[in-house]
Structure 1
Amino acid sequence: MPGGRSFHKRWINNRASPHLPHAAPQAGKATVIGESGAWLNLRETLLELRLPVRNPEDIHPLLLKLKDWRSITLSEFHKEVSTYIRTINERIAALRAEKGFFRSIFNWFGILGHNRDIAELSGLEERYAEILTENIRILEHTLHSPELTGAKAELEVIWRLRSLPGGYTVFNNVQLNSRRFIKFNDVPLQSAQLDHVVLSPAGVFVIETKCWSRQFSESGHYHNPFDQVQRARYLCWDLLKAEYGKLPVRAIILTSDSLPAAPPDSYTKVLYSKDLTGYITWFNRQELSPDVLRDVARYLADRVVDASCSDADLADLDPVDLLGSAVFSRMRAQAEPSVRAELEEK
């Protein structure tokens, strides 16, 4: 994980990390490290399209903003493209007016390049409209997508886990990898992504969040969630055993609607989110010493997958400047001073 080791050192020193958002330890409150993996994936997908959102509540206002600005933005984009094309045509006319055989041959290459620029700009204007329309469609789809529903469910779980007592630590979006393949139910196992892990004096809790409709649950088109969370639990137990000996590791599935039937031999606890903290704190027997708690916390913090972008990165993005900065920088550099001033005013 990029920046993982430097992060856990900062965390142990109770300092804020610029890379991995988390809540610093507070008296009577759990320490929370990391963000929802489902939300990070969705946010970074939108970021690649220059659609900056910090939380799910930002999506609808951004959609309204793009719809409101669409006609104005396309008009301004057209004006800027037209201004560039006009100054390029003026430059072409000046090149053609120059006298001399060798000068005309030399200028011919310059005119050829300017004509390519005009063709590129004309194509970009059409492309800009397509991208803006497509981004509006993507945001409309995202608002009603299962990805956003799943992200909101994970964010609610994190919100509830924050209320755990002091001495508990919550890790979100944990990636575990083993150096070797191990067998679980006769199937090779080497890695697992864990939605949430809670570390308490009574042991470790591996939590998988599911927000499935009854229709999806009955479809059978998924990896069985009971097998999924048990594989993650077993890998977590195996990796921690190698470092710290046998520790209690329990599996939980959080559901808001529907799940397939549990296997007869399942040891996975199925809960609604409102019952989560009560179940975890029910286990109050001290199983981990303070030293082991500290070391396991370092181990898990080192495996939290952080965001690839910061709030500063999001602040630098303009959702309607889809092509402008990259496309026009070369043209601005080449423009005559009077034209450049006119464009910069726009």
Structure 2
Amino acid sequence: MTIVAGKIEPLKRLKETLHNHGIYRFNSIGDIKAFLQRYESEKKDIPATVKLKTDEEIKALEEASKKAIEIRDKNLFNKVLYYFKARKLIKNHAALVNNYEAEVSKRCTDSYRELEFIKETVEGLYSTIAGAIGENAVVSELQKLSDNHYLINDFSLTFDPPIFNKRENDRIYSIQIDHLLICKSGVFVLETKYWSAQSIENLDLRSPVEQIKRASFALFVFLNSDTNQGLVRHHWGSKKIPIRNIIVMTNKAPKSDFQHVKVLPLDKLNGYIKYFDEIFDETETKNIFNYLDDEAQQNT
């Protein structure tokens, strides 16, 4: 199984956004999907759930009150110490019992509002969730490869001074890559897009082809201008680390082919990666991974 480092960026961003809204019930995309599927049944169950929890609270207050009274009546010291505690517990218990129906109704209303708020917030984050679903699917697919493959998710680097692309007249100060796969046949730069047919035709959206070519150019210069990657020197000279560009379309895909970038559906991804000849041994592959992972860690 592929060795994986780092979490996918949309999932991290999604959890941060949810936490900023006070929503902590989701730990994965699966949790969110399950919530949306169970929303109506969870809403329907609110009255019974609230009533059960209220009954449990009444019982807990009653038991706590009895225990506090017993401790209070043991001696004079406890009478002073536990007087107000016992009084508060008795008061809370009585208030809940005497206003049972009104309290249950209020709690149901609050639960409906909270559930609706969570649903609206999640649905408002559709594009982020879709991106996370797509990237998670790519990670799951890449994990099916053997353990001499290394995957870095949400790989980013900054450059000082910037890397200059003379052909494009572009100074590149930083790059961010969805997935970086290192294996015996080289380095694969992978961008994941969960795009609809309408998004593919939308002229306002930035071209993922240009995006990945820009990141790949900077990474190629960065990797091949350094000699500290732990490669065994060939008797002909220093080895080059090849970089191949893949855009993985986990929904719809364009019919066109593009120069220097392979556009693939998810089910063709691993087959394409396995197509290339091995040029590094296991030690060299691991050294390249460690080098890139260390550089990425220093940039965080």
* TM band (smaller chain): 0.5 to 0.7
SS in 2 for 1:302: helix
Counterpart for residue 44 of structure 1:
16
Q: Distance in 2 between matches of 1:234 and 1:247?
A: 12
In the alignment, what sits opposite 1:250?
244
1:301 aligns with 2:273: no
| Matched-pair contact (CA < 8 Å) for 1:217–1:260 | no
CA RMSD of aligned residues (A): 3.2
Once the two structures are TM-superposed, the CA of residue 281 in structure 1 deviates from its matched residue by: 1.2
Q: How does 1:20-99 map to 2 (within 5 A)?
A: 29-49=1-21, 50-62=23-35, 64=39, 67=43
Counterpart residue identity of residue 53, structure 1: F
Partner of 2:138: 157
Mapped contact 1:233–1:251 kept (Cα < 8 A): yes
Residues 302-321 of structure 1 aligned to structure 2 (within 5 Å)? 302=294
* Partners of 2:189 and 2:245 within 8 A in 1: yes
Separation in 2 of the partners of 1:30 and 1:132? 38
**Partners of 1:259 and 1:303 in 2: CA distance:** 34
Mapped partners of 1:36, 1:62: distance in 2? 21
CA contact (8 A) 2:43 2:115 kept: no
Which amino acid in 2 is paired with 1:247? I
Identity %: 25
CA distance 1:138–1:247, change in 2 (3 Å): same
Give the partner amino acid of 1:46.
L
What is the deviation of 1:163? Answer: 1.3
For residues 42 and 175 of structure 2, the distance between their equivalents in structure 1, rounded to whole angstroms, comes to 38
- 1:178 corresponds in structure 2 to 159
Consecutive unaligned residues of structure 2, counting only runs of 5 or more, are 55-106, 228-237
Name stretches of at least 5 consecutive residues in structure 1 with no aligned partner. Answer: 1-28, 77-124, 309-346
> CA contact under 8 A between 2:130 and 2:194: conserved in structure 1?
yes
Whole-Å separation in 2 of the counterparts to 1:303 and 1:69? 51
Cα distance in 2 for partners of 1:167, 1:209 equals 22
What does the per-residue CA deviation read over 1:224-279, in whole Å, with 9 as the maximum and x for residues that have no partner? 1111111111121122123336311111111131348555xx21111111111111
Alpha-carbon distance in 1 for matches of 2:42, 2:296? 34
CA distance in 1, matches of 2:25, 2:45: 16
User: Which one of 256, 262, 274 corresponds to residue 269 of structure 1?
Assistant: 262
The aligned length equals 226
